[in-house]
Amino acid sequence: MNKIVFRFIFLFLPTFAFAQKDVYLFSYFVDNGQDGLHFAYSKDGLSWETLSEGKSFLKPEIGKDKLMRDPCIIQSPNGTFQMVWTSGWHDQIIGYASSKDLVHWSEQQAIPVMEHEPTAKNSWAPEVFYDDKKKNYLIFWATTIPGRHGDVADSEREKGLNHRIYYTKTTDFKTFSKIEMFFNPDFSAIDATILKDGKAYYMFIKNENPNPPQKNIRIVKSKKASLFPTNQVSEPITGKYWAEGPTSIRIGEYVYVYFDKYIDHKYGAIRSKDMKTWEDISDKVSFPKGLRHGTVFKVSEAVFEGLLKR
């Protein structure tokens, strides 16, 4: 009997010994974004540490300003990591690159998302999301096109910016669908991000209106990744501070939303069990100093070990 038990344990030991654990990564930029791509990591979603002693993993090469702000990274079903980013303050393009291991990256490409709109002022905070129902990628970002939308009070203080969210679809990051309006609420909207949780899709988005000042994060629920109702935007889910750049992930029983408390020069977080009631846990999270708008995502321990060896 003992021999049988021992043999059973021996046969299955490699599975247990080499089972991979997940690690949470946070892609971000520092300063103005000229330094490129940075990573922080966490095992619990609360305490975050820098990777590679805070050194850049990828330098920006495209755009008028050659910046890499707001880096958004997701992992494709085939394992490839896809990244988009803001390449400059006044660009009509966004940056794109891919990687198998987050260390070695493809040649950087400029996706001309708003070049068909000559007066478009910007292409900010792009995000990429894989629509598992349509089997394609959604790339969406914030743009101001003067005169296209109703005036925002005190818009001049915002340098004439009045954003809405636009998007394109792709299956291969080589050909892209016609640029269309993605989300057009009755407020200036930036920093949209999407989370699939269960069968529902949730968009977290910043209300950018300056007067009366909002500068807070809202949530919108949908049954489709490519269609969010503008008449069902929630009240603010962040507190009485200015917040932007939300990014979200489920960790255990909670959905966490991290965001840049940019006036306070630090990061904050909220979490929820039911996507309705939100607990502010800004005093429970710690992030590297200087971390700016990025994306949280999960990787295998093997990918993480590769980053450590880098």
CATH number for position 21:
2.115.10.20
Q: What residues of the chain score a pLDDT lower than 50?
A: 1, 3-19
- What length does the chain have? 310
Instruction: Report whether 92 contacts 123 (CB < 8 A).
Output: yes
φ/ψ of 285, rounded to 5, equals -105, 150
* Structural element, H or E, at residue 207: strand 200-207
Q: What confidence tens digit (pLDDT) does each residue in 150-174 have?
A: 777 666 677 789 999 999 999 999 9
Tell me, what's the pLDDT at 168?
A: 98
Tell me, what's the pLDDT at 211?
A: 85
| The 244-251 sheet, strands edge to edge | 244-251, 254-261, 266-272, 279-280
Tell me, what's the pLDDT at 218?
A: 98
Number of domains in the chain: 1
Structure tokens at 94: 């966004």
Show the DSSP H helices in the chain as ranges.
2-17, 301-309
Range of the domain at 67: 2-309
Tell me, what's the pLDDT at 159?
A: 79
- Best CA proximity match to 255, nearest among 304, 190, 194: 194
